[in-house]
Amino acid sequence: VEDDDEEEELNRFEQWLTDHLGEKFMKALMVVSALISTVFAFLLFLYLPKWVVGLIDPLTDNHIVRSIAEGIVKIAVFVGYMAVTSCMKDIRRTYEYHGAEHKTIACYEAHLPLTVEHVKKMTRFHPRCGTSFIFIVLIVGIFAACFIPARFVVWQRVLCSLGMLPLVVGISYEFIRLAGRYTNPFTKILSAPGLQLQRITTREPDDKQIEVAIAAITPCIPQDLADDQW
């Protein structure tokens, strides 16, 4: 009941802002918010690791050691960010919906009827999760960064990292696709870190959240199940 009241108050506040400040102002505010978020993510996940490692002289002598150290810092920042945000009430509720999504997909892939009773029995951990994908991107990025010349300064290393991002993302996608299609020792090792990270980014959902997940996935199910093969 409290959550419904808070949501209603939020909707009223948003409507008040729209009525008094105008729709164009609200759209501009959203654009500014998106730009600030992008800059923050850039500084936190790209610039900060390189800057921190650059302060430690012994790590800057060998570019491979430096790349690995930057990757470790980046992973630590990412995991820490996920852990801190999971303490927020709204984010925790989002993670519950995330868990509902995973359980529903697991139920669908097990060829069971999409009912609350069946979905509740499923696991909330999934090898093709976006969380796992991001983690693999970070790992692949460590190896890609090893090819950046050691003589480059921080801003040059950042630009190189951005330039290699499409390649890193493409390779990571193929890895996550492989992990979702096959179950063997290699794919289990590949998926293990991301699955553990999902202990932070997913939570056990309630029945209503499962109903929402079922309603969301049902229109996406193709008539020919062969079209849904990875």
Rounded to an integer, the average pLDDT of 95-106 is 95
Q: Is the pLDDT of residue 5 over 60?
A: no
Q: Is the pLDDT of residue 135 over 90?
A: no
Rounded distance between C-alpha atoms, residue 11 and residue 146, angstroms: 49
pLDDT, position 202 = 94
pTM: 0.73
Residue 226 forms part of a structural domain: no
Residue 103 forms part of a structural domain: no
Contacts 24+ apart (CB under 8 A), 71-76: 71/138, 71/139, 71/141, 71/142, 71/145, 73/48, 73/49, 74/45, 74/49, 74/138, 74/141, 75/135, 75/138, 75/139
Most confident of 138-142, 148-152, 197-201: 197-201
What is the count of structural domains for the chain? 1
**Number of Cβ atoms within 10 Å of the Cβ of 69:** 21
Pinpoint the alpha helices (H) of 44-184: 48-54, 57-60, 63-85, 89-109, 116-120, 130-145, 154-181
State which residues form the domain around 59: 2-85+125-201
Residue 112 forms part of a structural domain: no
Is 225 strand, coil or helix? helix
Rounded to an integer, the average pLDDT of 32-57 is 79
Quick: pLDDT tens for 178-200.
887 888 888 888 888 889 999 99
Region of poorest pLDDT, from 12-26, 159-173, 213-227: 12-26
Residue 224 forms part of a structural domain: no
pLDDT, position 56 = 78
Rounded distance between C-alpha atoms, residue 146 and residue 230, angstroms: 31
Pinpoint the alpha helices (H) of 110-129: 116-120
pLDDT band at 107 (very low <50, low <70, confident <90, very high): very high
Residue 15 forms part of a structural domain: yes
Which amino acid appears at position 42 of this protein?
A: F
Residue 118 forms part of a structural domain: no
Quick: pLDDT tens for 81-90.
889 989 898 8
Residues with Cβ within 8 Å of 16's Cβ and at least 6 positions away in sequence, in order, are: none
